[in-house]
Amino acid sequence: MAKTATKSARKPAAKAAVKPAAKAAAKPTAKAAAKPATKATAKAASGAKAKPAKKPGVKLSMLKPSVNNMTVRVFARAAGLDAAETDAWGHTRSPEFMARNPAHLTPMIEDKGLPRGVLWESCAIMQYLSNKHGLEKFYPKAPAKRAMIDSAMFYLVGTLYPYVARATYPFLGFPQYAGEVGHSDAHPDKKSEAQKAAMAAIAEPLEVFHSFFRDGKPFIGGKNPSIADIRLAATLEFLAVIDYPLPKWAKDYVAAVEKKLGKAYSEPAGDVRGYIAHVKSQAKA
């Protein structure tokens, strides 16, 4: 009887004393400790991704009317590189510019990681920035795919663009490159002949991009524009100044690049198109 009485007396008292005290003490401290941890871990538990680190800005010296410069301007925007642009029109022969860039060419980027601090040539700039920031969407790492992008760009620079420059630069008021007929002391008739021959020669290398490099794909890069596509689309912009009859596929191709890249393409292209419109209006006046 003593044990029974003791147990029945102890249990209610113990439970009554312990439970409220435990609840009162435990609940506030548990909530207070749990809340910060819950908020901190909620995103991780739900699978939410952290914001990617912003890519560092690029210092870019450029000329707005140029498709070579347009190429890098488009790429920098499309890649989210937040380029700080400086219009170098009229300054590329200044002592300050020449001290950094003896070739006096644009586009030119400045980057501390470069051996000489600066880099020019549009294709080289896009390759460098793609490699530095891991932009495989524009410049794949796979050797075979990368080789095709490189081949397309080098073919453009070495074959198609010289024809485009020879055909369009006299109308645009741009100086010819060294080695071009327009840069020589040849008779104006000879220069005119060379210009007409270049216009006639454009069709063949242009078709190579259609039949070989694209080969039924939307872009040279496949489903998305690569750095070679950006370079080609920009180059074709200059042909408007001579009213070159682009084949339908080429018109559709440029429109597709612009649609895919949006403002990244249309804003720099607007500067080139505006300049061409100005040149053509001056010629008619």
- In the structure, what pLDDT confidence band is assigned to residue 63 with cuts at 50, 70 and 90? very high
The pLDDT of residue 30 is: 45
Report the C-alpha gap between 41 and 49 in whole angstroms: 12
Check pLDDT > 80 for residue 181: no
181: CB partners within 8 A, 6+ apart: 166, 190, 191, 194, 195
Report the C-alpha gap between 224 and 220 in whole angstroms: 8
Check pLDDT > 60 for residue 265: yes
Segment 87-113 mean pLDDT: 96
Share of the chain above pLDDT 70, in %: 79
CA 11 to chain CA centroid, Å, is 76
Q: What is the pTM of this model?
A: 0.80
Q: What pLDDT, in 10s, does the model give residues 192-233?
A: 999 999 999 999 999 999 999 999 999 999 999 999 999 999
- Phi first, then psi: what are they for 61, rounded to 5°? -95, 130
- In the structure, what pLDDT confidence band is assigned to residue 175 with cuts at 50, 70 and 90? confident
Tell me if residue 139 falls in helix, strand or coil. coil
Mean pLDDT of the chain, nearest integer: 85
DSSP H helical segments within the chain, as ranges? 2-46, 67-78, 95-100, 122-133, 143-155, 161-172, 188-201, 203-208, 227-237, 248-261, 263-284
Q: What pLDDT, in 10s, does the model give residues 85-98?
A: 999 999 999 999 99
Q: What pLDDT, in 10s, does the model give residues 20-57?
A: 444 444 444 444 444 444 444 444 444 555 555 555 57
Long-range contacts of 180-184 (CB under 8 A, 24+ apart): none
Phi-psi category of residue 222: left, alpha or beta, with phi > 0 → left and psi -120 to 50 → alpha: left
